[in-house]
């Protein structure tokens, strides 16, 4: 029995994308999508998605649950590292020269400028609720009640 790797990966990425869309995040698949999304006024939470286990078991569940909070970002978007490479690179350019690229990760922007982030080192090996709390603390500080 042989397994088609591309078929397997497409299944995984489709599931990962579906989870984010079901949680209210808009997919940014091109650099132009990123530029348009980052021009929006207000706060934007960017989830850098991935197919790794900590994305599926920690980051995506945290992304889904963190937004159930009185103060939350105006916009929810996601780029997919390793899949939508140009869009991910474009998003990371906005995160600044001190940003260490990692996936999965989160970046919180206000009017297109980075104001907070949660890197892979704060996701991998942690439970989803600790990531939720981290994100919601940033929402409390930087976001308005919706």
Q: Any catalytic annotation for residue 52? A: yes
Instruction: Given the residues 20, 47, 48, 52, select the one marked as catalytic.
Output: 52
Q: Render the chain in DSSP notation, one character per residue.
A: ----HHHHHHHHHHHHHHHHHHTTPEE--SHHHHHHHHTSSSEEEEEEE-SSHHIIIIIHHHHHHHTSSSB--SEEEEEETTTSHHHHHHHHHHT-TT----SSEEEEEETTEEEEEE-GGGTTTS-HHHHHHHHHHHHHHH--B-
Does residue 143 carry a catalytic annotation?
no
Q: Which of 46, 47, 48, 54 does the annotation list as catalytic?
A: 54
Active site residues: 52, 54
């Amino acid at each position: 029995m042989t397994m088609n790797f591309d078929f397997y990966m497409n299944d995984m990425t489709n599931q990962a994308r579906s989870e984010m869309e079901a949680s209210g995040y808009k997919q940014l698949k091109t650099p132009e999508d990123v530029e348009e999304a980052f021009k929006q006024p207000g706060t934007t939470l960017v989830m850098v998605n991935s197919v790794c286990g900590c994305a599926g078991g920690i980051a995506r569940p945290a992304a889904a649950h963190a937004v159930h909070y009185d103060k939350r970002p105006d916009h929810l978007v996601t780029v997919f590292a390793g899949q939508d490479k140009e869009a991910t690179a474009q998003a990371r350019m906005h995160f600044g020269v001190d940003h260490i690229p990692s996936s999965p990760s989160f970046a919180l922007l206000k009017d297109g400028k980075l104001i907070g982030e949660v890197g892979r080192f704060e996701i991998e090996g942690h439970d989803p609720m600790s990531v939720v709390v981290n994100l919601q603390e940033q929402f409390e500080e930087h976001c308005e009640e919706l």
